[in-house]
Amino acid sequence: MSQLPDNNNWFTEVHTADGSAFSFKLTEKGKLHEEQTPFQKIEIYDTETFGKLMVIDGYVMLTTRDNFLYHEMMSHPALFTHPNPERVLIIGGGDCGTLREVLRHPGVKLAQQVDIDEGVTRASEKYFPELCESNDDSRAELHFVDGLKWVQEAAPGSYDLIIVDSTDPVGPAEGLFSEPFFRDCHNCLAENGMVVQQSESPLYHLPLIKDMYTAMGSAGFVGMQTLPFPQPVYPSGWWSCTMAFKDTALKNVDSKDIASREFREQDSENRPFETLYYTTAIHRGTLDTPPFMKKVLAGLK
Amino acid sequence: MSQLPDNNNWFTEVHTADGSAFSFKLTEKGKLHEEQTPFQKIEIYDTETFGKLMVIDGYVMLTTRDNFLYHEMMSHPALFTHPNPERVLIIGGGDCGTLREVLRHPGVKLAQQVDIDEGVTRASEKYFPELCESNDDSRAELHFVDGLKWVQEAAPGSYDLIIVDSTDPVGPAEGLFSEPFFRDCHNCLAENGMVVQQSESPLYHLPLIKDMYTAMGSAGFVGMQTLPFPQPVYPSGWWSCTMAFKDTALKNVDSKDIASREFREQDSENRPFETLYYTTAIHRGTLDTPPFMKKVLAGLK
């Protein structure tokens, strides 16, 4: 039976409920940083082939090498779907990678990042400086408070798009997958508002995605659409985000295809910035849900 | 530093050169089968969440749970690109999963599977019987001989499509990534012929894909197109196949977009069989190469 050749030179995340594990070979430097914040334990490792690795409470958050997949897919599809996203709220996202992608869109006038833990941003500034290069943009605001409370207290109609760039639905992020949170999001979104939420693995976590659809639907959202994308360092190497729409006018039409119909394909094609993974055709491709997922999610959007 | 909690109850494949590893939690049954054939060591494990797992010479080949991704993407895109694929040769593919997908296409008149190791097919019949359900189809032929020799000796113009469903480019499969092999493929393909080859991870193995393009080009192929797809149990959880075209008439036109232009989208849309992952839109989406790959592969097709 094969084992890791030298267990001590590797960082392994065990996905207990999913029966799998992913490991990184570390350099001789090994662990670069460890810190217990008031909220969670942050660790930074130096890997042999993935660059820096950020781990929170034992869960892999991101690496230098492959975070572009996640950050591009958490932002560009939603920003090219809302008709005119000017005011964007990012819940979580303390590493600032999503913020950077959001600010590539010239039409965005305000991008607020609300992460409960300032420690994540400070660690990112030190170990992932490329992700923080837009933190000083005049349109950016960084707030280190509870995102759940933030959306509770936000004025109705404050945002065009809310991006929920959260950790897994355990610990501090648990509430970010529940109906009360989505209800608050719905409330503080403007009329054409959208929410996009990281929604775990299409292979491992379909029941969670199903529950999210139900919670989003109960909160008043329509047209839920899950976009799968590769993310090698997350469980199963395959991840997803789920978009949903506030627009009450859409309730009266077939809400299944809102994400396809509203996709501003021409604007995506003419985007004034470069990407590493995202393209118009790839975006279009992810709007067709693989049949094995469709079966489980049928009738829920 | 996190470790696998009980290293003995897990099967781990270490991707040494890539600095990562993937592990499966096993059931109490653990290893179900082990056999040293004249060519390689075949093992079958019982996993907790992925069903059965086949391992050859320590490399993960397939699991019950997620092989549909690989087998569908190795067959349907190519079969819906060639104008009329009637005679299909599968090199490798001893588990018979690709053969099953190929035979879903009513237009296919002959599907020859040529795998050097009969042991793989016998193990698959026992542990992955669902993949072997079309082995008795009157259009199917199973040959247990060397694929390299088979294409050397095949009559010119024998096939419409050659699917190279090989193991990694080490050991018995090494020659399947080289120019002489592609030259033999080119020779035994008919005028509109195509080859499709599994081409490793888009994240880890771009240099290999680049070398493949060069080898395929030297052998006379044009229009090389790499289609990425999720494959959780392979290194990085992200895999690919690469299609290439024999048609000499295509050499005179812009060969960059052959795979897009030749895609029989309507036939794909009207396919008379169900899939779990493959859809027309997903196929279309994979034809747009992510920019980070395009940069490396530019000018090579």
Query: Is B20 in contact with A285 (Cβ distance < 8 A)?
Result: no
Statement: residue A42 has pLDDT above 80: yes
- The nearest CA of chain B is from the CA of A294 a distance in Å of 9
For residue B68, the one-letter residue type is: F
Question: How confident is the model at residue B249, as a pLDDT?
Answer: 65
Q: How far is CA B133 from CA B67, B99, B125, in A?
A: 15, 10, 9
The pair of structure tokens assigned to A105 is 């869109």
Q: For testing the chain B interface, which of A53, A238, A240, A287 should be mutated: the one with the most B CBs within 10 Å?
A: A238
Q: What is the pLDDT of residues B56-88, one digit of tens each?
A: 999 999 999 999 999 999 999 999 999 999 999
Question: A18 vs B290: CB contact, 8 Å cut-off?
Answer: no
Q: What is the ipTM of this complex?
A: 0.94
pLDDT in tens, B6-45: 667 899 999 889 999 999 999 999 999 999 999 999 999 9
Q: Do A1 and B284 touch (CB under 8 A)?
A: no
Domain boundary assignment for chain A: 7-63, 67-297
How far from B170 is each of B36, B56, B174, CA to CA, in Å? 17, 12, 5
Q: Which of A3-7, B191-195, B288-292 has the lowest mean pLDDT?
A: A3-7
At A234-245, the pLDDT tens digits run: 999 999 999 999
Give the separation between CA B242 and CA B176, rounded to whole angstroms. Answer: 13
- Measuring CA to CA, how many Å separate B298 from each of A55, A142, B67, B201, B219? 35, 39, 30, 18, 19
**Averaged pLDDT for residues B130-149:** 97
pLDDT at A210 over 60: yes
Pairwise CB contact (< 8 Å): B288 & A279: yes
Beta carbons within 8 Å of B254's beta carbon, 6+ residues apart: none
Question: A11 in helix, strand or coil?
Answer: strand
Please check the confidence at residue A99 and state whether its pLDDT lies above 90. yes
> Which token pair is B37?
């054939």
- Average pLDDT over chain B, rounded to an integer: 93
Q: Is residue A165 among the annotated active site residues?
A: yes
Which of these CATH numbers, 2.30.140.10, 1.10.1740.110, 3.30.70.20, 3.90.550.10, describes B7-62? 2.30.140.10
Question: Shortest Cα distance from B17 to chain A (angstroms)?
Answer: 9
**Chain A residue with Cα closest to B34:** A1
CA distances from B70 to A190, B227, B231, B264 (A): 42, 11, 7, 21
Q: What residues in A contact B274, CB-CB < 8 Å? A: 291
* Residue A175's pLDDT band (cuts 50, 70, 90): confident
Q: Checking phi first, is residue B220 left (phi over 0); if not, alpha (psi -120 to 50) or beta?
A: left
Helix (H) or strand (E) segment spanning residue A51: none
Classify burial at A257, counting beta carbons within 10 Å of its beta carbon; exposed 0-12, middle 13-18, buried 19 or more: middle
Contacts of B104 in chain A (CB under 8 A): none
Residue A250 predicted with pLDDT over 70: no
Judge whether residue B52 has pLDDT over 80: yes
Chain A residues near residue B23 by CB distance under 8 angstroms: 12, 14, 20-23
Question: CB distance B285–A286 less than 8 Å?
Answer: yes
Contacts of B65 in chain A (CB under 8 A): 203
CB contact under 8 A, B21 and A14: no
| Second CATH level (architecture) for the domain A7-63 | Roll (2.30)
- As a whole number of angstroms, the distance between CA B141 and CA A256 comes to 43
- Model confidence band, residue B3 (pLDDT cutoffs 50, 70, 90): low
3-state percent helix, strand, coil for chain B, nearest multiple of 5 = 35, 30, 35
The whole-number average pLDDT for the span B219-241 is 97
Residues whose CB falls within 8 Å of the CB of residue A62, separated by 6 or more in sequence, listed in order: A53, A54, A70, A95, A97, A128, A233
Q: Considering only residues A175 and A232, tell me which one the structure prediction assigns the higher pLDDT.
A: A232
For residues A113 and A111, give the distance between their C-alpha atoms in angstroms, rounded to a whole number: 6
- Chain B partners within 8 Å of A22 (Cβ): 20-23
Using a CB-CB distance cutoff of 8 angstroms, which residues of chain B are in contact with residue A237? Answer: 230-232, 236-238
Distance CA B149, CA B216 (A): 18
Given an 8 Å threshold on Cβ–Cβ distance, is A230 in contact with B228? yes
Distance from CA of B202 to the nearest CA of A (A): 10
Q: What is the pLDDT of residue A1?
A: 42
Cα–Cα distance for residue pair A203/A224, rounded to 1 Å: 18
Which residues lie below 8 Å from residue B33, measured CB to CB, with a gap of 6+?
A: B42, B43, B44, B123, B126, B127
Q: How far apart are CA B301 and CA B286, in angstroms?
A: 16
H or E segment and range at residue B183 = helix B179-188
The residue among B106, B69, B105, B82 whose CA lies nearest residue B227 is B69
Check B165, B168, B184, B247 and give the catalytic one.
B165
Query: A288, B285: Cβ pair inside 8 Å?
Result: yes
State residue B4's pLDDT score: 63
Closest chain B C-alpha to A277 CA, distance in angstroms: 5
Q: Tell me the CATH architecture of domain A67-297.
A: 3-Layer(aba) Sandwich (3.40)
What chain A residue is nearest to B68 in terms of C-alpha separation? A292
Tally of CB atoms within 10 A around B113: 26
Query: For B143-173, what is each residue's pLDDT tens digit?
Result: 999 999 999 999 999 999 999 998 777 666 6
* pLDDT over 90, % of chain A: 87
Cβ neighbours of residue B177 closer than 8 Å, sequence gap 6 or more: B166, B169, B197, B208, B211, B212, B215
Straight-line distance from the first to the last Cα atom of chain B, in angstroms, rounded to the nearest whole number: 45
| Per-residue pLDDT, B298 | 84
pTM of the full structure:
0.95
